[in-house]
Amino acid sequence: MTMKILVAVTRVLDYSAPVRVHADGRGVVTEGVSRAMNPFDEIAIEEALRIKERGSADEVVVATIGPSACQQQLRAALAMGADSAIHVESDATLEPLLVARILLKLVEREQPAIVMLGKQAVDRDHGQTGQMLAALWGRPQATYASEIVLSEATARVTREVDEGLEILDVDLPAVITTDLRLNEPRFIKLPAILKAKKKPLTALTLNELGIEYESRIKVLRVDAPPARPPGIRVDNVQELINVLKDRALLR
Amino acid sequence: MNRVLIVAQHDGDQLASATAKTLQCGRAIPDAQISIVVFADQGNLLAAQAAKLEGIYEVIVVNDVAHAHPLAAVIAPQLAELAVEYTHVFAPATTFGKDLLPRAAALIGAVQLSDIFEVASATVFRRFIHAGNALETVEVNAAVIFGTVRVASFVAANSAEKSVLVREYVPKVSSTSHTRFVSISGKSADRPDLQSAKYVVAGGRAFASAENFKQIYELANLLGAAVGASRAAVDSGFVPNELQVGQTGKTIAPQLYIAIGISGAIQHVAGIKDSKTIVAINMDADAPIFEIADIGLVADLFDVLPELKRAFK
Ligand SMILES: Cc1cc2nc3c(=O)[nH]c(=O)nc-3n(C[C@H](O)[C@H](O)[C@H](O)COP(=O)(O)OP(=O)(O)OC[C@H]3O[C@@H](n4cnc5c(N)ncnc54)[C@H](O)[C@@H]3O)c2cc1C
Ligand SMILES: Nc1ncnc2c1ncn2[C@@H]1O[C@H](COP(=O)(O)O)[C@@H](O)[C@H]1O
C-alpha cells in the first residue's frame, strides 16, 4: 500500500508587508499587497517532503480551497517537490469548519496516512482547521509540532505547548499541525518551477464534493487596533529609573 | 437567558489564573448563567477552588484517570456532550484551550471564535487578526458559540463569599486510546510565570549567546520578574521555547515589560500589546519597538546592563 501525505495549504496576505486598515471599517487593505503561502503551510510541505525523502512516505499531495489565484501557491508547492495538487474552487469566505469539511472529503478520496496543516493561517489567526478536521475524521491530532518521528503505525510528535515541550504518540492515520521550529523550508530552484508545470493539478468544485454550507460568522467591521499613547525617550539609565519610580513601577 | 460554560485550566493541583480571566469574559455575556467544568484525574479539590469564584451558578467536575494529563482527543467528546446544553463555551486561548476547543466545536457543528478580546453582546465579539494589526468585530449566528479567550485582555474574576454547588458528571462517550501522552519537559518551575507575572524582562537576538542571556535572568531575579524572549532568541538556543512571546508564542499583559535588544517585529509586538508600560532598550534609534514603547532608551545593552543591575538592587 502506498503511504500518502496530504498537505493543506492556504494563501495569505504577505506577512512581511505592513497591514493597513480601511478607514471606513470595511476591512484590511488588500489592494497592491502581494500574497504568499501561509508560512506554517510551507513548513508542513517541507516536513512531508522530508518524510518522503527518508523513504517513510511514497507520495505528497497538496490541496487548497479558494479562488483560482490560489493555484499559484499550489504551483509553488509542486515546485518544492510535491507530487500532485488539488484545487477546490471557492470564492466564499471560508470558515474553519467549512474548510475542515471540504478537507474531510479530500481525505476520503485520497486516504492519506498523515494530513499536515499549519497551526494557524497568519491573516485571520483562527488556528482551528486541523483540530476540526481531526474531530470530523475521528482521528488523533498532534498540534504545534516541532518534531515528528514516524514508526510503522504511529507518529511520535513533540509539541510546543505553553508549559514547554510535550511528547505524544498518535496512531496513524492522524492530523498534525506545524509550528515554526519544525524545519526550515527549502528554496525553490528555477528548473523545479518549470518541472512543476507538468505535474498533475486537479480542480474540483464544492458542488462536485457535495458540500453545502451557510456562513454563520458575519464581519461587521474591521478597525485599526487601539493606539498606545506616544512614548518618551530617556537619555540614560538614571533617567529611566527616575521615570519608572515616578510612575510607581519601581520602589 | 444565556448559558455559559467555562472550561477550567489547571495543573492538577491549582486552577490556572487563566480560568478566572476566562470566567470574566463569560460574565460579560448579558443575562448569563455560568458553569465551570473541570476535567481532571481527581478534580474534587480543583472543583472546590472553582466553586469559590464570583458570579457562577455551578461547577461540574469530570473525574477520569485519562485526564491525568489533558488530551484534546479525550476531553473533546466529553465537552461536546455537555456543550449542547449551553449557548456559549469558553476556554482560555492557551495551547490547552486552542488545542481542545475547535475539536469539541466541530463534533457538534458549532462555530468557534479564536482569541476573543472583547464581548459586545451575546452574539457580537471583537478579536485581533493579522497578528494584532487589525481588530475585527463579528456577529455570530449559531446555537452554540465556542470561543477561546485572550486572557491578557481580561482581569481575573474575584472570589466570592460563598461557594456554589459542585456536581459530578459522568460522560456517556467512552475514552479513546489512539492518542497517548508520553512526557512533558520544560517548566522553568522556580521562576515567576510569564503569563501572570507583574514584571517581565525579555531579551532578543542581540544577546548573541546563552551565556550573555543569563544577564536577563539576573535582572529578572532582582525585580522578581518573569523572563521572556523573542523568537530569534529561542531559535538561537539562548532560552527554551516556552519563554517565547508573540503571535506564535505567549500573549502577556504585565504591568511592566522591558524589551532589551529586541527589534519589535509585528509578530513579537502582537504578544506584548496589552502590557501596561513597555520599556525598550535598543542600540538602533529607528528600531520599530520604539514605536510602541512608552519609555525608550537608545543604548548598547552591554553598556547599560551593569548599571541597570546596580539600579535594580
Ligand atoms: C509566522 C511568524 C511568526 C512569528 N512569531 C514570532 C513570535 O511569536 N515572537 C517573536 O518574537 N517573533 C516571531 N516571529 C519572528 C519575528 O518576525 C522576528 O524575526 C523576531 O521577533 C526577531 O527577534 P529579535 O528582535 O530578537 O531579533 P532582531 O530582529 O535581529 O533584532 C535584534 C535587535 O537588537 C538590536 N541590537 C543589536 N545589538 C544590540 C546591542 N548591543 N545593544 C542594544 N541593541 C542591540 C538591533 O538594533 C535589533 O533591533 C515570527 C515570524 C513569523 C514569520
Ligand atoms: N482555504 C484553505 N485551503 C486549504 N487549507 C487551509 C485553508 N484554510 C486553512 N487551511 C489549513 O488550515 C491551517 C490552519 O488554518 P486556520 O484554522 O484558518 O488558522 C492552515 O495553515 C492550512 O494548513
What ipTM goes with this model? 0.95
Domain range for A124 is 4-246
Q: B70: distance to nearest CA of chain A, Å?
A: 11
Q: pTM value?
A: 0.95
Q: Do A167 and A157 contact (CB within 8 A), yes or no?
A: yes
Instruction: Evaluate whether residue A131 is within a structural domain.
Output: yes
What cell numbers appear for B301 in the block?
545593552
Instruction: Evaluate whether residue A145 is within a structural domain.
Output: yes
pLDDT tens for B238-281 read 999 999 999 889 999 999 999 999 999 999 999 999 899 999 99
The rounded distance, in Å, linking the Cα atoms of A116 and B62 is 32
Question: Torsions phi, psi of A190, nearest 5?
Answer: -55, -50
> Which residues, given as ranges, of chain A have pLDDT below 70?
1
What cell numbers appear for B210 in the block?
546563552
- pLDDT over 70, % of chain B: 99
How many Cα atoms are found within 13 Å in the side-chain-facing hemisphere of B221?
A: 8
Lowest mean pLDDT among B46-50, B105-109, B183-187: B183-187
pLDDT value at position A2?
A: 80
Q: Which amino acid is at A245?
A: K
| Yes or no, beta carbons of B134 and A19 under 8 Å apart | yes
The rounded distance, in Å, linking the Cα atoms of A109 and A107 is 5
The residue to which cell 480543583 is assigned: B46
pLDDT value at position A214?
A: 86
**pLDDT for residue B189 is more than 70:** no
pLDDT value at position A228?
A: 87
Spacing, Cα A117 to ligand 2 middle (Å): 7
User: How confident is the model over B46-62, as a mean pLDDT?
Assistant: 98
Q: Do A64 and A70 contact (CB within 8 A), yes or no?
A: yes
What cell numbers appear for B274 in the block?
496589552
pLDDT value at position B217?
A: 95
DSSP class of residue B84 equals T
pLDDT value at position A203?
A: 97
10 Å Cβ neighbour count for A143?
28
pLDDT tens for B18-40 read 999 999 999 999 999 999 999 99
B196 pLDDT band, cuts 50/70/90, is: confident
| Yes or no, beta carbons of A169 and B182 under 8 Å apart | yes
- The CATH number linked to A157 is 3.40.50.620
Instruction: Evaluate whether residue A102 is within a structural domain.
Output: yes
Instruction: Evaluate whether residue A101 is within a structural domain.
Output: yes
Question: What is the number of domains present in chain A?
Answer: 1
pLDDT value at position B190?
A: 64
Give Cβ neighbours of residue B80 (< 8 Å, ≥ 6 apart). B104, B105, B107, B108
**pLDDT for residue B51 is more than 90:** yes
Instruction: Evaluate whether residue A130 is within a structural domain.
Output: yes
Output the residue whose Cα is nearest ligand 2's atom 4: A64
Spacing, Cα B213 to ligand 1 middle (Å): 14
pLDDT value at position A157?
A: 98
Helical segments of chain B, H only: 17-27, 44-50, 72-83, 95-107, 210-223, 231-235, 266-269, 289-292, 301-312
pLDDT value at position A221?
A: 97
Q: Do B119 and B29 contact (CB within 8 A), yes or no?
A: yes
* Set of chain B residues whose Cβ sits within 8 Å of the Cβ of A96: 102, 112
Instruction: Evaluate whether residue A251 is within a structural domain.
Output: no
pLDDT tens for B262-274 read 999 999 999 999 8
pLDDT value at position B248?
A: 87
